């Protein structure tokens, strides 16, 4: 039975997609059968694994709307142990189309029930919002990883996210856990990065991962080549960081 991990933060640009792509890739490199699900209409996780989002025939949109089973939308990737359920621009309309659907918050959970025995981990990249797509993801997930960038206003909106998680626990998924908070875009040369790190660790305490994701040019370049960092430059700081994070995640 797969452990389902949501990567969530309604703020954009905090490293959600980078974390989803690279955590799932490192889990696969550790020979854990893993499926990455791209729930963001921008489909950056999809293109980050080298899949042309304009040529996709079926996506998670089709699964949510009941047109295709989850298994019918699964794609192979360059990594033997990593599969992908891609996104597409059609997902933009899914929130509106699902409004009148019975049990709309449970659509993803019901779809994933058919494939959870096939994987050890299912990692889900959430969109930068707290709408129905994110609610579906949190309802389906066992746990959440929250990336927080080490920049100004890092904590802005976190109260809203934590409240959403609390409401999902109360009404939709009582077993949802926060696995950890991940500090991203860290630059040890900057006072700001150190200040944000202290503030986040002071607020979340032991929930903050020991691993931090450092600012790294190679990590920024990798998506434009459609590769996770371990295939683009395994000797880079970014690869080292995500391999270290993966060890922490696997130990939980």
Q: Per-residue pLDDT averaged across 20-35, rounded?
A: 98
Both tokens assigned to 209: 């991962």
Per-residue pLDDT of 74-83, as tens digits, reads 999 999 999 9
Tell me the pTM: 0.95
Q: Please provide the distance, in angstroms rounded to a whole number, between the alpha carbons at the two ends of the chain.
A: 15
CA dihedral over 121, 125, 126, 132, signed as positive or negative: negative
28 contact partners, CB below 8 Å, separation of at least 6? 34, 77, 79, 80, 81, 82
Residue 159 has pLDDT above 90, yes or no: no
Angle value at C-alpha 149, between 34 and 227, nearest 5 degrees: 40
Both tokens assigned to 91: 């997902």
122 contact partners, CB below 8 Å, separation of at least 6? 2, 3, 4, 5, 34, 35, 36, 37, 112, 115, 116
Residue-level pLDDT at 101 = 81
Residue-level pLDDT at 156 = 82
Q: Per-residue pLDDT averaged across 131-152, rounded?
A: 94
Residue 155 has pLDDT above 90, yes or no: no
- Domain with 43, as residue range(s), is 3-251
Per-residue pLDDT of 206-216, as tens digits, reads 999 999 999 99
Q: Tell me, what CATH number does 217's domain have?
A: 3.40.50.300
- When divided into structural domains, the chain yields a total of 1
Residue-level pLDDT at 130 = 87
144 burial (CB, 10 Å; 0-12 / 13-18 / 19+) is: buried
- Better-predicted residue by pLDDT, 153 or 20: 20
Confidence of residue 105 (pLDDT cuts 50, 70, 90): very high
């Amino acid at each position: 039975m797969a452990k389902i991990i949501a990567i969530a933060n309604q703020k954009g640009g905090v490293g959600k997609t980078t974390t989803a792509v690279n955590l799932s890739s490192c889990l696969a490199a550790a020979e854990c059968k893993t499926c990455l699900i791209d729930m963001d209409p921008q489909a950056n996780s999809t293109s980050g694994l080298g899949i042309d989002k304009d040529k996709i025939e079926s996506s998670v949109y089709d699964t949510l709307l009941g047109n295709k089973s989850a298994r019918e939308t699964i794609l192979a990737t360059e990594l033997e142990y990593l599969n992908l359920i891609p996104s597409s621009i059609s997902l933009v309309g899914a929130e509106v189309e699902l409004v009148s659907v019975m049990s709309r918050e449970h659509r993803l959970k019901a779809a994933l029930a058919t494939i959870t025995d096939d994987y050890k981990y299912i990692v889900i990249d959430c969109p930068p919002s707290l709408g129905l797509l994110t609610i579906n993801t949190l309802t389906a997930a066992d746990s959440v990883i929250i990336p927080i960038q080490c920049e100004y206003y890092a904590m802005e909106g976190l109260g809203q996210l934590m409240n959403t998680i609390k409401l999902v626990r109360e009404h939709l998924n009582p077993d949802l856990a926060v696995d950890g908070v991940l500090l991203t875009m860290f630059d040890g040369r900057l006072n700001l990065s150190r200040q944000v790190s202290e503030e986040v660790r002071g607020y979340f305490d032991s929930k903050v991962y020991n691993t931090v994701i450092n600012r790294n040019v190679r990590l920024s370049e990798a998506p434009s080549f459609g590769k996770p960092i371990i295939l683009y430059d395994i000797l880079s700081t970014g690869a080292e960081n995500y391999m270290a994070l993966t060890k922490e995640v696997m130990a939980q």
